[in-house]
Amino acid sequence: MEQFFFHTVAGLVVLTVLECLAILVPLLMAVAYLVYGERKVLGAIQLRKGPNTVGPFGLFQTFADAIKMLTKETVIPSGANRALYLLAPFLTFVLAMIAWAVIPTNNGWAIANINVGVLYLFAVSSLGVYGILIAGWASNSKYAFLGGLRSAAQMVSYEVSLGLVIVSILLVVGSLNLNDIILAQRHVWFCLPMLPMFVIFFISALAETNRAPFDLPEGESELVAGFFVEYSSLAFGLFFLGEYMNMILMSAMTSILFLGGWLAPFNIAPFTWVPGPIWLILKILFVLFMFIWVRATFPRYRYDQLMRLGWKVFLPFSLVWMVLTAGFLMATGMLPVGSANGVG
């Protein structure tokens, strides 16, 4: 048995497929309950009940919505570019899933524990814009096109500061491996010494996932629904799933880079009894709650304000902070030089 799974190609393929399922099936369930949770939290913040009819406490509301959505007719606009129009939602959905291959859920537990994990995550999250841009263009509709263009400009802008934040983390850790980044936070989570970067990363993550207050690409009040205005049925559902999976992914990224990933908050007895994956899930839930909290609290940004914030506030600030971090590490001799595979 062990011989088959660990030493033959077929066995390794079977094992990897099982690992993928072990990540993706809970992830899809998590999306369903994230939607439910979001509506409940929004309801509580706005002094309403939220969904409470389908199933006990409305727990099956999302599934009812999903069934309704899947039974709708798939409409392809006559002027649309068919191939690209259908490609876009799949692209969004697939990109939201493949990023999970490198997320470590416990010490060394990841489908692929690769050396350049952070870069991989960053690359996948920067590709997310294509789904939106292609959807906007292929729909052959004014609103969708405007939404797509807005989204492209917005995501490219915020990626820059996101990248600089990641670079300052890497300076401290000295490795691109996600597991090493978590292990480097054994003594103190990066959200404390790097608090300003944590704030910038969180806000940029909101912009990357097109969440309120940066949801200009969909902007209901001006663009109807933005880039997916022409989509219906399954295609719309894939966009929807992709968007929420991206939210969870960004929360996981925030947890790993700043909140110590699967590490317990304190390295003492009652905390260390709880297994690592539970801590990671709790942290992801905390960040997700903040996503929803922000949505309920802040009004949508105007487009020029969004650009101003990205280029004139976040970019210079994160650049200066990165130089300061490097300078501080150099001055105190803490620069992790020569530790290719882990922190000293």
Contact residues for another protein (CB under 8 A)? 9, 84, 114-116, 119-120, 122-123, 126-127, 129-130, 133-134, 137, 145, 148-149, 152-153, 155-156, 159, 163, 176, 304-305, 308, 340-341
Say if residue 25 is exposed, middle or buried (CB neighbours under 10 Å; 0-12, 13-18, 19+): exposed
Token pair 């809970």 is found at 26
Output 30 or 134, the one with its CB closest to another protein: 134
Cβ closest to another protein, residue 40 vs residue 300: 300
* Eight-class DSSP state of 109: B
Each as own residue / partner, the long-range contacts of residues 311-319 (CB below 8 Å, 24 or more positions apart, any chain) are 311/157, 311/160, 314/158, 314/161, 314/200, 314/203, 314/204, 315/160, 315/161, 315/164, 317/161, 317/196, 317/200, 318/161, 318/164, 318/165, 318/168, 318/197, 318/200, 319/164
Helix (H) or strand (E) holding 134: helix 117-138
Which of residues 55 and 77 has its CB atom nearest to another protein in the complex? 77
Nearest distance in Å: CB 26, another protein: 27
**Nearest 10 degrees: Cα torsion 177, 201, 186, 332:** 90
CB of 28 to another protein, least distance (A): 26
Handedness of CA 151, 156, 157, 159 (dihedral sign): positive
**Cβ closest to another protein, residue 186 vs residue 302:** 302
Q: How far is the CB of 176 from another protein (least distance, A)?
A: 6
Output 12 or 21, the one with its CB closest to another protein.
12
CB of 186 to another protein, least distance (A): 21
Residue 77 burial (C-beta neighbours within 10 Å; 0-12, 13-18, 19+): middle
Nearest-approach distance from CB 249 to another protein, in angstroms? 15
DSSP code at position 311: I
Least separation in angstroms between residue 119's CB and another protein is 4
**Is the Cβ of residue 138 or residue 200 nearer to another protein in the bound state?**
138
